[in-house]
Structure 1
């Protein structure tokens, strides 16, 4: 019998700056294959055809006012901000803790400054549209997506390599 690994703690880095003790929450991007239904002559029903990946978005909540992050808003580059999240997951069954690193690149499309009230906690929520995502578990890259460079790696297999090889001729 096993127990689930759950998040014990997390840290965020941007431009080498650690946000340990400041990061309050990280909402990971949803990973989804874009599909379009197709039904041709003689088919009994529709099948979903692979049309690439859906757009990715992540949200970072900071427990405080972080000027350096606010200054990243409005970037004219699709790669306006690069973040590295480091998380520790542990199961209470004696297995060692698992290190999970998440690398994201994109731009902040929204900053929700929330409400400010003297004596209350301050939280700012940063939403980022992503062009890059990489998930590393215990030092092994499990997934990497680079929307601009045409990389779609899962478990060490580049699922888009054949297409890029054709395009690069």
Structure 2
């Protein structure tokens, strides 16, 4: 029997700025595909066709303590990849003690910055949602998934899922 790897520690970097002691939490991006059910003659049920990445896109949600001027200055960025963020997490398996280094790199721009409740003498935080055009998941220095929406790239476990499509359309 084995125990799962659990997040023990995290850090966040925003455009090279270290958020040690400032980052409170991160909601890592959901990876979703757009699927369409198809049921033709002679089929006893539908099979979903994969139409690519979900229309919901890739979103990274994170919270900081206090006033975060860095993200506020990035709001309204024109470039779809203007803000580079890097999550680094230390996951430990309690039955073996093994530690895995997990890194998620995204690039995008802030869709929302919620300033939170302002009460004197109480904790304050910003909640930020960054919509991403780029995503890369690395575990123990192995790239597991890399998605670059602007450059038509989807690599999963070392397989370029869009290579033949790029070739078919002359890219």
Q: TM-score range by the shorter chain?
A: over 0.9
The 3-state SS of whatever aligns with 1:71 is helix
Q: CA deviation at 1:46?
A: 2.0
TM-score norm. by structure 2 comes to 0.94
Q: CA deviation at 1:43?
A: 2.8
Aligned mates of 2:61, 2:45 — CA distance in 1: 38
Query: Number of residue pairs matched?
Result: 169
Aligned mates of 1:98, 1:49 — CA distance in 2: 34
What are the Cα deviations for residues 91-134 of structure 1, in whole angstroms up to 9, with x where unaligned? 21233211001001111010111101111111101101111110
Greater mean deviation of Cα atoms: 87-96 or 138-147: 87-96
- Which ranges in structure 2 are unaligned for 5 or more consecutive residues? none
Aligned mates of 2:135, 2:128 — CA distance in 1: 16
1:154 to 130, 153, 156: 156
- Which ranges in structure 1 are unaligned for 5 or more consecutive residues? none
Q: Who is 1:47 aligned against? A: 47
Taking the TM superposition and a 5 Å limit, the aligned residue runs for 1:1-169 are 1-54=1-54, 55-168=57-170
Aligned mates of 2:158, 2:144 — CA distance in 1: 7
Root-mean-square deviation (CA, aligned residues, Å) is 1.2
What are the Cα deviations for residues 45-86 of structure 1, in whole angstroms up to 9, with x where unaligned? 321111101111110111121101111111121112110111
Aligned mates of 2:130, 2:58 — CA distance in 1: 9
The 3-state SS of whatever aligns with 1:68 is helix
